[in-house]
Amino acid sequence: GRVQTPDYLSGLNPEQREAVETTEGPVLVLAGAGTGKTRVLTTRLAHILATGRARPWEMLVVTFTNKAAREMRERISHLIGPDAEGLRWLGTFHSVAAQILRRHAELVGLQSSFTILDTDDQERLLKQLLEAANIDTKKHTPKSLAGAIDQWKNRGWTPEKLPPGEDFAEGKGQKLYAAYQNRLRTLNACDFGDLLLHNLTILSQNADIAEEYRRRFKYILVDEYQDTNVAQYLWLRLLTSSSGNVCCVGDDDQSIYGWRGAEVDNILRFERDFPGAKVIRLEQNYRSTAHILGAAGALIAANKERLGKQLWTEDDSGDKVRVRGFWDGDAEARMIAEEIEDARRRGIAYKDIAVLVRASFQMRAFEERFVMLAIPYKVIGGPRFFERAEIRDAHAYIRLIQSEADDLAFERIVNVPKRGVGDTSVSKILHMGRENGVSAMQIVRHLMTSDELPGRTRTPLTNFVRDLDRWRDLLKTGTPHWQVMETVLDESGYTDMQKADKTSGQTRLDNLKELVQSMQQFDTLQSYLEHVSLVMDLERNAEEESSSGSVQIMTLHGAKGLEFPLVFLPGWEEGVFPSQRSIDEKGIKGLEEERRLAYVGVTRAKRDARISFAANRMVYGRWQTQMPSRFVDELPIEHVEPQSDTGYYSPTPAQRPQSRWDDKPFAGSSHDTPGWKRAQASSNKAIYGDTGFGANLHGGNASARNTYAPARKAIVE
Ligand code: ATP
Ligand code: MG
């Protein structure tokens, strides 16, 4: 008999075990960070397979990322061996939906060989459609249309089902959407959003097929349920049989994809949709120390819209969460790099350390610092700073200004932003250059005065050359190279092109600002460009794994579900985190999502979490005074250690650049203190004193003023 408890179950607490062993009927595991939700899901999968309740291909298992899917597959094969290979339906929503769509493509007018368009193709197509409809693509960009269509698809709306209020370009929304879908069909293609949308169409219009899948999928498991959107939710409903063997795990406090259409309501709806659903709460956290949980718990308690839950841990060892203010972003990066080296000396492996940022522009300072100190690192979920397309574009401009022979730079930006120089013309120019042993730019200069090119190509090329000449003159006449960079980005139309992009334009603009700022640290353009090639080269070397792996740099969004012994959380400043957009927005929705993101960040740490903020950041060559994030204020003093002892950077007046502080009252003086800060100053437990910056940060409650802004004496002495 099989009376003995299998190994995989014995490590679980009673609630976790209940979640694993309640295999029949709907189960919702609603629990805070680090309580073992993902572990429950993995174990449940193993349990169902080990007890013969289903075969691997009868399980539908949905994770949030491909990486998470891979990890789950690995863990399962440890538990049950090679059978794990049969888990055909384990993956992300997109990957599973794509598989289903391939089998029934003809039902939505596609062939099973359909291609999935990337965003470039998608936008090119939308541009054609916009132009065909005589819509000004500067005002209504292909990118913004792509964004709108994506949101519609996230909500499960086909063109026919588009509600009246939803629109694009004054009444043309539905027509454009329908035209786009038709065009995709003739191309035998679909976009990412279609994967689920077509699934919904197939499953809701073909009862027999839906029934086939409902019979096939004996058990359904879903991780990170709080971040499912409407389309994903409807899809799950269509695939769930009446026996309803569906287990979803999630945490409303970690819902961070509202901006992409995720609906926390899906959690609340679960009990209504599945009457008799068993709701299991896990309260013991196995990941973090008491101080980390205490800090995270107090933080998230400031949110109004939440279900509320308790978390506890047996681990009351460990240090308080460190909070530290720095003079500026570079000082912050310098100190974090030093602390990483220090941790390494104490035996912590690089791979056990993470730097989690709110926005990708923050990564640059860390990458450069790590390169300089030969600390191996990896940027997870995105290219490294200098490898980003917008940074490469900017570099291409400045390189071409510096040297006309740089054909690669020429090729990269001659038609970015679009100036009507077609691919054919570009390759013709490059070809002619190679034939004659001269640069493409020389050919262009020659073509300007001949009639070998049609006028519609010649004019934009002529303007392009004039622009380059003008910018080069600026450089020659002593305009600082970083200012020239700014001018180039603005006058070339590059900035406007990014501004028009509602999806990721802002991120790219932030990265470009960061680029301009980093250029200021070099006296000449030449030395800057040398530095860049060096960094790029070293970065490549750094990729060779050291035995202790690499420090992970990633965004907070990308860190969901992961854990690290040591976590750095830099840039906790108003306008950075919470983001300016969430502050400007009406209502609390955006801010509460930012706070959940902060909660996700802190709860990634197992033993050590270190939060920091800088008093200054340079933006477009101007020092900007930063206010510490309101989230810093929300941390309870009993779990936080404001660091005051060592090496924070205190520049002498000579080193100090001209700043707004020189003629203005401090952001932190009562004069400038925003209402929300004043209002809570008297009630807040975490009062660090009125000077509160860097060396002056201290615990205690002597002062009713509650601010971290630098005191004048700290910088003027
Ligand atoms: P998140 O909300 O961040 O996704 P989670 O609830 O999914 O967290 P897991 O990642 O599954 O939590 O677990 C957190 C950590 O606790 C992991 O290292 C896991 O191995 C460990 N853990 C979970 N349950 C137990 C247990 N019963 N005994 C010991 N360790 C456990
Ligand atoms: Mg998890």
Residues with a known catalytic role: 37-38, 223-224, 254, 604
How far apart are the CA of 571 and the centre of ligand 2, in A? 25
Check pocket membership of 250 for ligand 1, CB cut-off 6 A: no
Alpha helices for 423-545 (secondary structure H): 423-436, 440-448, 455-476, 481-491, 494-499, 505-519, 525-542
pLDDT attached to residue 62: 96
Check pocket membership of 37 for ligand 1, CB cut-off 6 A: yes
ipTM greater than 0.95: yes
Q: Which of 18, 30, 35 to mutate to test the pocket of ligand 1 (most atoms within 8 A of CB)?
A: 35
- The pTM for the full model equals 0.74
Q: Is the dihedral of CA 434, 437, 440, 442 positive or negative?
A: negative
> Contacts for 202-205 with beta carbons within 8 Å, 24 or more apart?
202/100, 202/101, 202/104, 202/107, 202/108, 203/235, 203/238, 203/239, 204/238, 205/107
Alpha helices for 240-362 (secondary structure H): 265-273, 290-300, 329-345
Binding-site annotation: residue ranges for ATP: 31-38
pLDDT attached to residue 572: 96
pLDDT attached to residue 716: 23
Secondary structure (3-state) at 278:
strand
pLDDT attached to residue 537: 55
Q: What is the torsion angle, in degrees rounded to the nearest 10, for the CA atoms of residue 314, residue 316, residue 317 and residue 318?
A: 110
pLDDT attached to residue 689: 30
**Phi, psi at residue 681, to the nearest 5°?**
-55, -40
How far apart are the CA of 13 and the centre of ligand 1, in A? 11
Q: How far apart are CA 324 and CA 481, in angstroms?
A: 34
Q: How far apart are CA 107 and CA 202, in angstroms?
A: 7
pLDDT attached to residue 672: 35
Alpha helices for 173-229 (secondary structure H): 173-186, 192-205, 207-216
Say if CB 12 and CB 43 are below 8 A apart: yes
How far apart are the CA of 288 and the centre of ligand 1, in A? 10
pLDDT attached to residue 383: 64
Q: In which residue are the tokens 């950041």 written?
A: 617
Average pLDDT, 10 consecutive residues per value, the chain (717 residues):
72 96 95 95 94 95 82 86 87 89 93 74 85 92 93 95 92 95 87 94 97 96 94 94 90 88 80 88 96 96 86 89 92 96 94 94 90 86 74 91 84 92 88 87 90 86 95 94 95 94 84 89 81 61 57 91 96 93 92 96 97 82 84 92 54 32 30 33 30 32 30 26
Check pocket membership of 33 for ligand 1, CB cut-off 6 A: yes
Six token digits for residue 553: 């740099």
pLDDT attached to residue 543: 44
